[in-house]
Structure 1
Amino acid sequence: MQKIYFLAVPFDKNLVTLALESGVDGLIVEDERVESVRQLGRTEVLPVSSLTTVCLESKADEEHAVACLRSGGKVVLRAGWEIIPVENILAQADKLGVEVASLDQARLAAGILEHGVDWLLVLPQAATELKSIVAEIKLSQGVYELSRAVVTEVRPVGLGHRVCVDTLSMLRKGQGMLVGNGSAFTFLVHAETENNPYVAARPFRVNAGAVHAYAIMPGDRTNYLQELSSGDEVLVVGHDGRTSLATIGRVKVEVRPMLLVRARVDTPEGPREGAVFLQNAETIRLTRPGGEPVSVVSLREGDEILVRLDTAGRHFGMRISEDIKEA
């Protein structure tokens, strides 16, 4: 994940405040401002003199940037950089930064050679887009392909320990977490964004499922729901496949009546089936293809819901190549 710095030169108190509130990783300020700005928040503050700024105009400039990076310098390419020279530098050294003056430039820099540059220096002229840059570059984990699945079974299975994941974020309709009995077939469990006559909405919460279930996590990892704890980052997924990060504020594990939900996706290679155990309560919902939440209480065989298909095989949450079946 790229780090994002904001260039607060010349110094502007309002822009510094905006940058801190936006959640940047650091600020670049005039040397004499470093100590006073450090007192404003627990954010990295660097003097502008610590940067080696390179303007790419020739092959010699590329070679200079590579040499500085290899010697441990903090190198940033001046605005106006082009993709091919940046790729050449990234092929030879890491920890490269580039100046960006818009959200579009930030997106471009973040995707070069798929990995992207290591850090971005947002210029003051991009201040109006700073929050969008931070949200997209730091929080997005790309777009997941979701599939329509047909519900094949819904039945009570008795009591079990279920996990509520309360985040620091207000989730929106159509968003939730991918949870399932196996990592190869996960269900989009909807956040508690909806009111009902008995319980107010809790849009920060995903009542995610049984303790043994897999949750798809950032960085193409999985965790058992029981393993999650305060301060962990979880992956939030929308019905359109767009992803973001949320930090866990609290995890609640309680004994509740549970339901077993099974579903099937018919693929060109044949049917794929999966299951998930969820609390038997009206406030627990899965997600329809259009993004509408559907309560597990009203869920019926033949209903369509959103799931994610993947290849099976995980070891301590990391993807491995293994002949494995999860049922």
Structure 2
Amino acid sequence: MTRSVWLKADSAVGNWEKRKKRITAGIEAGVDWVLVDDTDVERVRDLGDVNIAAFRSGGDADRLEEHSQQDVSSDAVIVGKNGEGDGSVSLPEDFSGSADISALRRSDDAANGAYIRILDENYEAFAEEAAKTADHTIVIGEDWQIIPLENLIARIGEETELVAGVTTAKEAQTAYETLEIGADAVLLDTDDPSEIHKTVEVRDELERETLDLTWAEVTSVERAGSADRVCVDTGKLLDHDEGMLVGSMSRGLFFVHAETADSPYVASRPFRVNAGAVHAYVRTPGGETKYLSELESGDEVQIVNRNGKTREAVVGRAKIEQRPMFRIEAEVETEDGTDRIETLLQNAETIKVPTPDDRKAVTDLSAGDEILVYYEQTARHFGEAIDEKIIEK
């Protein structure tokens, strides 16, 4: 499931300067959506690139006509504010027949999202009905938050994007994890930039894979002549225990550390992984792979630490140069015995791989050393795992 963060920035937040400050903080933090009044859509477009949901209060034909062009430019039109959704207008009596999004739309056919404050069980039922036709269903808990959210998660399923109202990153974590399924998104209502950043971090952490890394025994390290090798320079600084997964065989990828360590001869380059020859695979987000030769500025690669925790980084540059190489071969214990994997890495002291004690330069590796790898018994076709037998030598 892909999670998202919405940021509330409508007139209830305050004047435009206050709203602008909140929206700017959200865009800088990386929120996915901002929720504003329809009159602010073009202003938000001027602030940055973000999805915009616009509240439609409805009922004022002249006002709707006046701002119709602005509404068209929003990515979603949300109704319910100053209407049935927030209690300003009484709920329909027949929930089973009329309490879908059409009741929230009134005369507004452009609406594709509903905003509902869960004031009591009737509003919970109303949200459930609205979700049947709404692309986005935003629910704001009042005195009770967890129980109504659990009920809606259990009943709505995949009919809509369920967006839960929160005020802190801690509440966002709870909303994402409720019933082990969680809300699809959260609507964050805060002016605190640090809380916005924390909420985005919660979203990112939930999206990331945690990989089961394993130890492999080096069986051979030999000079392999020159080859075109690729340094992957990312737009992020990597931590000391981070690197990338690369290898000649898709089923067995070697953990190669970023160049975070200083040496007497070369300054550290903590944005760089000297990843090996152009033919090798590198793991990318979502469990896919790319050839190193394919990487270019703007692509994403997967960063991993020794505990298997992953994150994403954008490629700033892929630097290809001819360099002397080592061919490194290792054996991995599998359910069927052992399997051989290998890769080519540059013959240089700055390229390091994890060992049980710390790390070793590839120039110091020898048969019998243990190094960290990611192994999966699967084949690849255009970077995607497939159920097919492929022989790699």
Determine if the TM-score, normalized by the shorter chain, exceeds 0.5. Answer: yes
Letter in 2 for 1:209: G
Cα deviation, 1:27-68, whole Å, max 9, x if unaligned, reads 223444433333222223333444322345777656543543
The alignment partner of 1:36 has SS state of: helix
Task: Look at both structures and tell me which one has the larger radius of gyration over its CA atoms.
Answer: 2
Asked if 1:178 is matched to 2:245, the reply is yes
**Residue among 246, 252, 257 paired with 1:190:** 257
1:160-175 matches, within 5 Å, as: 160-175=227-242
Letter in 1 for 2:276: G
Cα deviation, 1:111-149, whole Å, max 9, x if unaligned, reads 568775433222217753322332342365221111122
**Residue among 71, 74, 82 paired with 2:136:** 74
| Structure 1 pair 95–68 and aligned structure 2 pair: CA distance change class (3 A) | same
Q: How many angstroms apart in 1 are the aligned matches of 2:347 and 2:156?
A: 51
Q: How many angstroms apart in 2 are the aligned matches of 1:296 and 1:309?
A: 20
| Structure 1 pair 97–171 and aligned structure 2 pair: CA distance change class (3 A) | same
| Structure 1 pair 66–234 and aligned structure 2 pair: CA distance change class (3 A) | farther
**Structure 1: gaps (5+ residues):** none
Asked if 1:129 is matched to 2:195, the reply is yes
Partner of 1:45: 52
Which structure would you say has the larger RCO, counting Cα contacts within 8 Å and 6 or more residues apart? 1
Letter in 1 for 2:116: V
The alignment partner of 1:172 has SS state of: coil
The alignment partner of 1:78 has SS state of: strand
Deviation at 1:281, TM superposition (A): 1.1
Q: How many angstroms apart in 2 are the aligned matches of 1:113 and 1:315?
A: 36
Say what the alpha-carbon RMSD is for the aligned residues.
2.6
Asked if 1:102 is matched to 2:168, the reply is yes
The alignment partner of 1:178 has SS state of: strand
Asked if 1:8 is matched to 2:9, the reply is yes
Asked if 1:296 is matched to 2:303, the reply is no
Deviation at 1:26, TM superposition (A): 2.4
Deviation at 1:105, TM superposition (A): 3.7
**Structure 2: gaps (5+ residues):** 57-76, 79-113
| Structure 1 pair 3–316 and aligned structure 2 pair: CA distance change class (3 A) | same
Contact 2:168 2:190 in 1 (8 A): no
Letter in 1 for 2:188: V
Letter in 1 for 2:281: Y
| Structure 1 pair 158–112 and aligned structure 2 pair: CA distance change class (3 A) | farther
1:221-300 matches, within 5 Å, as: 221-267=288-334, 269-289=336-356, 292-300=358-366
Q: How many angstroms apart in 2 are the aligned matches of 1:205 and 1:136?
A: 26
Letter in 1 for 2:279: H
Asked if 1:319 is matched to 2:326, the reply is no
What is the percentage of aligned positions where both structures have the same residue?
37
Letter in 1 for 2:167: A
Return 155-164 or 12-21, whichever deviates more: 12-21
TM-score (normalizing by structure 2) = 0.75
Return 165-174 or 13-22, whichever deviates more: 13-22
Return 111-120 or 221-230, whichever deviates more: 111-120
Contact 1:62 1:89 in 2 (8 A): no
Contact 2:190 2:196 in 1 (8 A): no
The alignment partner of 1:96 has SS state of: strand
1:141-220 matches, within 5 Å, as: 141-220=208-287
Cα deviation, 1:225-279, whole Å, max 9, x if unaligned, reads 1111211111111111111011111111221111111222334542233111111
| Structure 1 pair 221–116 and aligned structure 2 pair: CA distance change class (3 A) | farther
TM-score (normalizing by structure 1) = 0.88
Contact 1:151 1:300 in 2 (8 A): yes
